[in-house]
A and B are shown apart, each in its own frame.
Chain A
């Protein structure tokens, strides 16, 4: 079945550092790919998405490119802020069937001032 693997955390960085969180997936067909963010005590918020190969999703300085050849969707940000501290989830949605999301295990990010 479909699956998502994220780099294990936690990740701790200093403010203004460069961020990469790795995500790879296994799926049949052509899934849509997502990054969600979860702040403490809250539900999930969609951060960005890409629906086909070579698409780049971007939002709030975060970017991720849908790489079909490497089945990857790595999240990057050039300069992180303390307010970026949260748990980040990579997810996919299959191209047919129920609109279910398959999530990775999450990566906890802490940014120190």
Chain B
């Protein structure tokens, strides 16, 4: 079975802090994704990576950056956290273009 893990289930940070969310997959997938999910807005793609050190912006990249130094690990970075980044963050991985597998999510609260 594919396993996608995320470093934290719940996280509380202060405005202005630099925040790292980490995602690890164990199936040697080349593609990894970061989404955020908000009530009434559904899932929105923040960033996508199709190989080590390669990345593409999704629909809402502003305020975020990503890092992929190893194939199995994809990090989402909030350079200066703001309250409007309070959300559920979901990581996923896949072989293109087959189904995506999701992690358990990180509920981030920025106060």
Q: Do A and B bind each other?
A: no
Residues of B within 8 A of A (CB): none
